Amino acid sequence: MATYVVGDIQGCYQPLQRVLAEVDFHSGRDQLWSVGDLVNRGPHSLETLRFLHGLGSAFTGVLGNHDLHFLAVHFQAKTDGKTRSLQPLLTAPDCAQLAEWVRQLPLAFGQSVATDAGLRKVLLVHAGMAPGWDAASALILAEEVTSVLRGKKYLQLLKGMYGDLPDRWHPALAGIDRMRVITNVLTRIRFCTAAGQLEFNVKSEADSAPPGFKPWFDFLQLPPEELLLFGHWATLNGITNRDNIIGLDTGCVWGRCLTLLHLEKHERVSVTCHDCQ
């Protein structure tokens, strides 16, 4: 059995099939985990969700900002914004079933994995964590949002999650402001300050931070036995210069690569994505 973690797919179904074939993935034997952004921008969001849903218990994933946007559009919590690449999914006869499945996915996932280097505590998030958070607090805060999304008040969350304010995490936050900041950190963060102020406008390389800001992972200290895997930041091309904080978005939807990480062996496998622009 092998556990593979895939970077942002974003509807790039064909590259996903190629990279899984490259490692001889078998759903009856192996596990596929995802750092989120399963859909949007790429040409085959519908096929991607049908395939991942069909994997059953062989698939585990966290929600990305594009997955949340799909849910907001499907449930009519969002009536504007870019939806062109989502249209085949939104109009499919099984869209409601797929949306309900996506709505059950968490915003963070943690599990211990026996690797060739020993037991590792693995955490999956889509974008990152705020200064002062650790793996345990990220899972607890993510569960606050996940429980609302899975519950009866999910429409209030989907309607209220858009926006950049408040622009920093504080434990005293409450209501939709609290939900919005937690969601923004877990699914949108790139740059922040040591005090936790978030910056959402700059999306380029790590060394392009505005004055006073740094990549979020520069403020994070993880014990060596922990491993944090994330996506979202395609311009990093997976490079963090940190041994136990690993980016897996290598820009498939932008014509670069789709990457898998073999967790047990700590090996990456990539395929080119020339057919997903």
Residue carrying structure tokens 């504080």: 170
> Tokens 């399963």 — which residue?
38
265: phi then psi, degrees, rounded to nearest 5:
-100, -10
Quick one: pLDDT at residue 234? 94
Domains of the chain: 3-272 (3.60.21.10)
Q: Which two tokens stand for residue 89?
A: 């999914």
* HEC readout, 35-63: CCCCCCCCCCHHHHHHHHHHCHHHEEECC
Strands lying side by side in the sheet with 118-125: 108-115, 118-125, 226-230, 245-247
pTM of the model: 0.96
For residue range 52-91, what is the model confidence (pLDDT) as tens digits?
999 999 999 999 999 999 999 999 998 777 778 899 999 9
pLDDT digits (tens, 9 = 90+) for 11-31: 999 999 999 999 999 999 999
For residue 277, pLDDT over 70 is answered with no
Task: Work out the pLDDT band at 258, boundaries 50, 70, 90.
Answer: very high
**Which contacts of 86-91 are long-range, i.e. CB under 8 A and separated by 24 or more positions?**
86/39, 86/40, 86/45, 88/44, 88/45, 88/46, 89/39, 89/45, 89/46, 89/49
pLDDT digits (tens, 9 = 90+) for 211-247: 999 999 999 989 989 999 999 999 999 999 999 999 9
